[in-house]
Amino acid sequence: RLGLQWDEGPDVGGPHGPYRQSERLELYQDAAYRLLESGHAYRDFMTREELQELRQREQANKTFEHYERRDRDLPSEESEARAAAGEVHTVRLKVPLDGECTLQDLLRGEIRREWAIVDDQVLLKSDGFPTYHLANVVDDHEMGITHVIRGEEWINSVPKHLLLYTALGWEPPVFCHLPLLRNNDANKTKLSKRKNPTSIHYFRDAGFLAPCLVNYLALMGISRAEGEEKMALGDFVDDFDLEDVSLGGPVFDIDKLRWLNARYIREDLSPTALREALREWALSDENLDRIVPLAQPRLQTLSDWGHLTAFFFADDVAPDPELLTLKGKEPAEIVSILQIVTWRLEQLREWNLEALEETLRDCCDRFELKMRDFTRPLYVAISGSASSTPLFDSMLVLGPDLSRMRLRRAVDALGGLSKKRLKATEKQMQALWRD
């Protein structure tokens, strides 16, 4: 969608296959077995329940001590025998009990971390599947990866990875951890779905051009000292130096994105190309064919089309808080309801009419509301008006990303949810969907 393509993968093939984790299980299990043999790992027979209990106890005591390593020193014969007898177990990494690990990060230089505070990471789950840590190391080695470039959130697990590379007798790659994109909220937390559109589909649906988005994203973290910021991907590739990436976590600036997009529209598109872009975006025959039947019963004149369907071709509909009402409910309750609906919709795998209808009717039932009352604020959130084309169909045409965004904006229009209220609302949802 962004015009980016990977070089190898299950769909495009490549010399380092197979590319599906399930087809590589043997590889991971072999590695785990080797680690077991060489004493770098051990079988852990603790059950999920026991572990959970331990965690709960810790939480209750407000202690944060790590895993107790009960089976770490089990004699190998016993371990072997119990595994052979079919006892369920995981395979854990035997992390040194003392000393410290020194790692090199391309951007940050040397980082030290004491072994005593790193947990005996599970490598192989009880179902035989690897955790990320094992899979990551095995795959990267097998596939000849030279540079591991990933988000900063992984920096603390490098020691475990390093330990795996050495234990398996492999050459570790160069590690480079990039800063995380942040929310534009008061404390600039890690970019989250709840507060931001994180799906590139949203940006497409909202009418941003792919090359612009690539350009903007490239600007986060690297920039030229002066001058032109509008650059094609190729230009970036030419003078990109990984070590130039800046370390502060950047906040996504939608205003700057809009400005850049305006330039792409203005400077890179002929009127014909623009018309084509509009067609690809939302004015395709196919899309219009979906909207026309919804509008037809509600058109008195052809010219009503504009007002009636404008919301299908908009990013934001700026819902009027005065219209976001629900019979017998305070605004605060409406906010919670809208938020819960949003969460329920996020769970949806397929965005089709049946699923939408089922989800929304289910919500309605659980809130013990009448359908016509319940849908009112939803109409306003989605279309910006209390009278519009059918709700389910309209949401279907708009798609998941725009629909969710509009619900979110409706929540904001009503004053939003504080952290506390958000938690309470989450509990409320859990209570309503207990069964």
Q: Is the separation of the CB atoms in 10 and 20 below 8 Å?
A: yes
State yes or no: residue 187 binds RNA (CB under 7 A).
Answer: yes
Per CB under 7 A, the list member of 25, 51, 145, 176 interacting with RNA is: 51
State yes or no: residue 182 binds RNA (CB under 7 A).
Answer: yes
Stretch that binds RNA, among 204-212, 216-224, 361-369, 386-394 (CB under 7 A): 216-224
Stretch that binds RNA, among 2-10, 43-51, 311-319, 390-398 (CB under 7 A): 43-51
Nearer to RNA, 245 or 323 (CB): 245
Using alpha carbons, select from 142, 201, 226 the residue that is nearest to residue 400.
201
Per CB under 7 A, the list member of 30, 53, 87, 114 interacting with RNA is: 114
Pairing of strands 90-93, 41-44: antiparallel
State yes or no: residue 70 binds RNA (CB under 7 A).
Answer: no
State yes or no: residue 155 binds RNA (CB under 7 A).
Answer: yes
The end-to-end CA distance of the chain, in Å, is 39
Hey, what are 124's tokens?
Answer: 């192989």
Q: Is the separation of the CB atoms in 370 and 279 below 8 Å?
A: no
State yes or no: residue 359 binds RNA (CB under 7 A).
Answer: no
State yes or no: residue 322 binds RNA (CB under 7 A).
Answer: no
Q: Which residues contact 272 (CB under 8 A, 6 or more apart)?
A: none
Binding mask 87-106 for RNA (x = CB under 7 A): -x-x----------------
Q: Report DSSP state, residue 250.
A: P
Pairwise CA distance, residues 63 & 60, whole Å: 8
Per CB under 7 A, the list member of 69, 82, 108, 298 interacting with RNA is: 108
Integer CA distances (angstroms), 207 to 178, 314, 371, 383, in order? 28, 8, 33, 17
Nearer to RNA, 248 or 328 (CB): 248
Q: Which long-range contacts (CB under 8 A, 24 or more apart) does 46-53 make?
A: 46/70, 46/71, 46/90, 47/88, 48/126
Burial class (CB in 10 A: 0-12, 13-18, 19+), 176: middle
State yes or no: residue 269 binds RNA (CB under 7 A).
Answer: no
Nearest approach in angstroms of CB 338 to RNA is 25
Per CB under 7 A, the list member of 229, 268, 357, 373 interacting with RNA is: 229
Pairwise CA distance, residues 248 & 256, whole Å: 18
Pairwise CA distance, residues 424 & 126, whole Å: 35
Per CB under 7 A, contacts with RNA among 374-433 are none
Catalytic member of 125, 190, 193, 427? 193
- Total binding residues for RNA by CB under 7 A? 62
Per CB under 7 A, the list member of 23, 30, 78, 119 interacting with RNA is: 119
Relative orientation angle of helices 400-413 and 371-383, to the nearest 10 degrees: 100
Nearest approach in angstroms of CB 57 to RNA is 12
188 part of the active site? no
Catalytic residues: 193
Query: Would you tell me which residues interact with RNA (CB under 7 A)?
Result: 46-48, 51, 55, 64, 66-67, 88, 90, 108, 111-114, 117, 119, 122, 125-127, 129-132, 152-157, 179-180, 182, 187-190, 219-223, 225-227, 229, 244, 246-251, 253, 255-256, 258-259, 262-263, 266
